[in-house]
């Protein structure tokens, strides 16, 4: 197709399970306009993916012939069109070539595939995170990347390719344990802001030193509060510290030479991981999650539609 002569080059979309972010980019990757909502895969599956996308394209006044590149859960089995996984080692060119095309609309719309680790001893998948990772290709030849989230990921990259990764259900465990276990009486609401509670650091340090003792440490949260050894408001910080600390402790055992992991940071969760990594004696390199997602999508768009 011929891209119209205008400042705009492409629309890129990060379509998560519960969130939607669209950016209108120029030929240099600068943002001309953006649109965000909570119309992630779960809502779009009911409303219609095409309907949601068209609404946001109209909002940013995207030209009818402008192409769109989508990453994330729109390409999942339960999403718009399933984009099959690419096996590790996954490269920028490999992802671009495997992008699926939406046929129901006249506009050129591509959905990026996820990445699979097809190892019977360590099977794993990611969808959406690969775009952020490929935006990191210029940071160094070898990188260990920490990607906090509902399903946190630790990724090994070499020469711009994804060579292996491990997923930890840290965020989901925090939600399930805090809302649906006996600890719901202990945890309460997590605090916001930029301050890191001492209770978080203390719990994280304990878990990093002995990640295998996690289940025992969890019940101690309840017992400690009942017996007056901890404050009522410390439950959420302690639970978060135990889970994040156990994750980092496991990663330290897996990547023994790690000194300065790249931390893809976003909001309060990113601050907690940064504090815990420093508590472990590491010096994380902080990268903004939103910026790197956009950069990865732009780089992939350049692979698909030469500017």
SS3 readout for 106-166: CCCEEECCCEEECCCCCCEEECCHHHHHHCCCCCCCEEEEEECCCCEEEEEEECCEEEEEE
- Mean pLDDT in residue range 7-34: 94
Distance of alpha carbon 134 from the chain centroid? 13
In the chain, the percentage of residues whose pLDDT exceeds 90 is 64
Tokens 């089995």, residue located: 77
- How far CA 160 is from CA of 4, 33, 131, 132, in Å, comes to 31, 29, 12, 12
What domains can you pick out in the chain, each with its CATH number?
Answer: 8-131+291-306 (3.30.420.300), 168-287 (3.30.420.310)
Strands 262-265 and 142-147: parallel
pLDDT at 47 over 50: yes
Torsion angles phi and psi, residue 44, rounded to 5: -65, -30
- Mean pLDDT in residue range 124-153: 86
- How far CA 243 is from CA of 140, 205, 210, 214, 222, in Å, comes to 29, 11, 12, 8, 15
pLDDT tens for each residue of 64-87: 999 999 999 999 988 999 999 999
């Amino acid at each position: 197709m011929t891209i119209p002569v205008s400042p705009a080059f492409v629309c890129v979309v990060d379509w998560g399970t519960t969130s939607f972010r669209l950016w209108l980019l120029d030929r240099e990757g600068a943002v001309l306009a953006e649109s965000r909502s909570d119309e992630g895969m779960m809502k779009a599956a009911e409303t219609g993916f095409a309907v949601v996308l068209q609404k946001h394209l109209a909002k940013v006044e995207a030209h009818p012939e402008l192409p769109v590149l989508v990453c994330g859960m729109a390409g999942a089995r339960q999403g718009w069109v399933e984009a099959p996984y690419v096996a590790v080692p996954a490269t920028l060119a490999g992802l671009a070539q495997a992008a699926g095309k939406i046929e129901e609309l006249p506009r050129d719309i591509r959905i990026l595939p996820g990445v699979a680790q097809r190892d019977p001893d360590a099977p794993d998948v990611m969808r959406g995170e690969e775009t952020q990772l490929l935006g990191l290709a210029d940071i160094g030849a070898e990188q260990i990347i920490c990607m906090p989230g509902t399903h946190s990921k630790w990724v090994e990259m070499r020469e711009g390719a994804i060579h292996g990764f491990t997923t930890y259900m840290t965020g989901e465990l925090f939600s399930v344990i805090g809302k649906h276990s006996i600890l719901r009486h202990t945890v309460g609401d997590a605090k916001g802001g930029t301050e890191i509670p001492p209770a978080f650091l203390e719990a994280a340090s304990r878990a990093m030193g002995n990640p295998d003792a996690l289940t025992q440490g969890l019940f101690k949260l309840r017992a400690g509060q009942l017996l007056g050894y901890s404050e009522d408001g410390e439950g959420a910080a302690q639970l978060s510290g135990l889970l994040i600390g156990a994750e980092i402790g496991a990663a330290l055992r897996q990547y023994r030479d790690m000194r300065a992991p790249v931390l893809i940071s976003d909001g309060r969760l990113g601050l907690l991981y940064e504090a815990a990594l420093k508590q472990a004696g590491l010096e994380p390199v902080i990268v903004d999650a939103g910026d790197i997602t956009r950069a990865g999508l732009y780089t992939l768009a350049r692979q698909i539609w030469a500017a």
